[in-house]
Amino acid sequence: MLQDFEQYLKNKYYSQNTVKTYLANFKKFLVDMHIINVEQLNNEIFFAYRADLQNKKLKGQTINTKFEAIRSFLKFLYNSKNIVAPACEVKQARLRIRLPEIKIRIYDRFYKKELSINEIKRVLRTINKDPNKFYRLRNTILIQLLASTGLRISEALQINIDAAITGRVEVVGKRNKIRTVLIPATVVKVCREFRKHRKELYLKNQKLFIDLQDNVIKSQTCGKMLKKYGVSAKVKLQKLFLHNLRHFYTIDCINQGMDLNTIAQNLGIEDMEVLKIYQSRNLKHLQEQTNKKGRRLLV
């Protein structure tokens, strides 16, 4: 049944990481609570599980993620096996699931950790000093691409160099959703120079981000590269993670007045609540400016 559950998740177009996490969380639940049959999937066992997780001092978000895996399994039982677990009921042909939930407050985890445009420029200037032309071009493209498009690193690593030079690429995001991403002309120009240099080195791999051995680089390699150049550029280490370039893009778009629907489409996300957090960050800045003007009038 667990194998069928795994296939069910894949058919829902969840990413490999999501499928892996859901399976791991559900298997851990089965082991911890000694579950051996469907009849045990009742409210009593779920509340006992929540209490156990809270005693271990896990964060509310972590606990909710674990219960989300259980919720998916209960849906799988109903949709694929026609089994209604004790914690569920069917009303008006709809499955209703009663699971414990930890109420959490969504907050901006990256407030005051974002990269400024000056910090990104310092990183790019440091990259530009690299004596190896191959690394200089490749790493410049990577930073500029992520900061100017909001791409996830997993999406950027999918891109072929010939497609990048057209200025228009298609990437597969979360839940296998395909979206079109436009690449700025400044990045396209560097891509052309990079392609020419790669031909001189007799590299044949068509992916945009490769190494000198003609292999596609991994996201961990990209992360280490950002930290290496970032530290040299005297940027705080806590700011040097690749996803922060996606945050930079989002904040920059909001500051320029782009509407949230367009930003969400460009980023390939569905949860508008995330963008509203960034929008509230902008309100904080306006409040700070207002307070400064008020203090100027003090006598």
**What span, in angstroms and rounded, lies between the C-alpha atoms of 51 and 57?**
10
Q: Is 273 exposed, middle or buried (0-12, 13-18, 19+ CB in 10 A)?
A: exposed
Do 148 and 28 share a domain, yes or no?
no
Do 25 and 150 share a domain, yes or no?
no
Domain span including residue 164: 117-279
Q: What kind and span of H or E run contains 181?
A: strand 178-182
Using the predicted structure, report yes or no on whether residue 106 has a pLDDT greater than 60: no
Do 168 and 24 share a domain, yes or no?
no
Q: What is the pLDDT of residues 127-182, one digit of tens each?
A: 999 999 999 999 999 999 999 999 999 999 999 999 999 999 999 888 778 999 99
Do 200 and 253 share a domain, yes or no?
yes
Do 131 and 275 share a domain, yes or no?
yes
Do 143 and 272 share a domain, yes or no?
yes
Helix axis angle, 133-149 to 219-232, nearest 10°: 100
Do 58 and 186 share a domain, yes or no?
no
Q: Give domain status of residue 297, yes or no.
A: no
Asked which of 36, 69, 97 is the last residue of a domain, the reply is: 97
Q: Give domain status of residue 284, yes or no.
A: no
Q: Which residues contact 69 (CB under 8 A, 6 or more apart)?
A: 21, 22, 23, 25, 26, 29
**What span, in angstroms and rounded, lies between the C-alpha atoms of 115 and 252?**
10
DSSP category for residue 4: H
- Of residues 18 and 196, the one with the higher pLDDT is 196
Do 122 and 89 share a domain, yes or no?
no
Find where tokens 């979206």 sit. 179
Task: Return the structure tokens found at 127.
Answer: 């990259």
Do 73 and 169 share a domain, yes or no?
no
**What span, in angstroms and rounded, lies between the C-alpha atoms of 154 and 50?**
33
Do 227 and 147 share a domain, yes or no?
yes
Q: Give domain status of residue 291, yes or no.
A: no
Span 181-200, average pLDDT? 97
Residue from 215, 178, 185, 212 nearest 198 by CA: 212
Q: Give domain status of residue 193, yes or no.
A: yes
Using the predicted structure, report yes or no on whether residue 274 has a pLDDT greater than 80: no
Do 230 and 133 share a domain, yes or no?
yes
- Which CATH number belongs to the domain containing residue 58 in this structure? 1.10.150.130
Q: Give domain status of residue 292, yes or no.
A: no
- Measured between alpha carbons, how far apart are the two ends of the chain, in Å? 74
DSSP category for residue 236: -
Q: Give domain status of residue 265, yes or no.
A: yes
- The answer to whether the CB of 150 falls within 8 A of the CB of 258 is no
Q: Is residue 251 very low, low, confident or very high in pLDDT (cuts 50, 70, 90)?
A: confident
Q: Give domain status of residue 138, yes or no.
A: yes
Q: Give domain status of residue 128, yes or no.
A: yes
Counting the structural domains of the chain, the total is: 2
Find where tokens 């493209």 sit. 141
Do 80 and 32 share a domain, yes or no?
yes
**What span, in angstroms and rounded, lies between the C-alpha atoms of 183 and 133?**
22
**Centroid of chain to Cα 255:** 21
- Which CATH number belongs to the domain containing residue 256 in this structure? 1.10.443.10
Number of Cβ atoms within 10 Å of the Cβ of 120: 21
Residue from 163, 158, 189 nearest 176 by CA: 158
Give the pTM: 0.72
